[in-house]
Amino acid sequence: MNIKLISALAATALLSAVPAFAAPVTFDFENVTAGSPLDTVHAGFDFSFGGDILGVANDPLSPPFFTKDTSALGIITVVGADNALNILAPNGSFTGELTLSYSATADASVTVWSGLNGTGSGQTFNLAANAGNCALETPFCVWQSATLAFTGFAKSITFDTLYYAGFDDVTVNAVPVPAAGWLLMSALAGFGAMRRKRAAAAA
């Protein structure tokens, strides 16, 4: 067996590690229905949203729920404990960082989890209240972006708030498949085929 070929394929597998295949997926919530749960498919990736993550849209006939948001048509808020955003198999996980825009009348937090539905090991990020001075005008009136870097791979996010925070433009680096693993398995299968071919030729 060609040792140089083995080394080259192994190096290629390592260089083709999973993060290189991560694709940013952004939820802008522009098509949400006020007071309703969210759709579960976005940009070709399968996601699920807990039933307590609800869409919020302003009603032109009533005072606004939110103002000054960068994407003005819709946001989400959390009304209960069933508030996990999951990325589902076979699409795998997300990695690297979570970016979102938020407005909060009290301190809030989000947690990135290694398992689905807020299970496994978690990394929590605190979000300071930022909308207190204008909350009498409208609940969510000051928006800021936060980028939350985490280690490893995650399958879900929980929004650890209740009524007092709104979120928009949630972006994750979704990983469709464990690319390096598939490449390495393909290389090993190729090695096996080469050995069988050489053995047959020598017989």
Residue range 64-68: mean pLDDT, rounded:
81
Burial of 140: CB neighbours in 10 Å, binned 0-12, 13-18, 19+ = buried
pLDDT digits (tens, 9 = 90+) for 131-141: 877 766 778 88
Question: Rounded distance, CA 87 to CA 94, Å?
Answer: 8
* b/e per residue 55-75 (b: at least 16 CB within 10 A): bbbbeeeeebbbbebeeeebb
**Domains parsed from the chain with CATH numbers:** 22-176 (2.60.120.260)
**Position 84 pLDDT exceeds 80:** yes
- Lowest pLDDT segment from 2-11, 48-57, 145-154: 2-11
Residue range 94-111: mean pLDDT, rounded:
93
> Which pLDDT value is given to residue 159?
94
**What is the overall mean pLDDT for the chain?**
77
Q: How confident is the model at residue 34 (pLDDT cuts 50, 70, 90)?
A: confident
Question: Rounded distance, CA 38 to CA 47, Å?
Answer: 10
The CA-CA-CA angle for residues 47, 142, 76, to 5°, reads 20
Question: Rounded distance, CA 121 to CA 112, Å?
Answer: 8
Q: Which residues contact 203 (CB under 8 A, 6 or more apart)?
A: none
Residue range 175-181: mean pLDDT, rounded:
55
Q: How many CB atoms lie within 10 A of CB 101?
A: 19
Residue range 195-201: mean pLDDT, rounded:
59
**Position 120 pLDDT exceeds 60:** yes
Residue range 166-173: mean pLDDT, rounded:
92
- Lowest pLDDT segment from 29-43, 74-88, 95-109, 136-150: 29-43
Among the listed residues 189, 183, 192, 178, the one whose alpha carbon sits nearest the alpha carbon of residue 13: 183
pTM for the structure as a whole: 0.74
Burial of 138: CB neighbours in 10 Å, binned 0-12, 13-18, 19+ = middle
> Which pLDDT value is given to residue 31?
83
ω into 24 cis (within 30 of 0): no
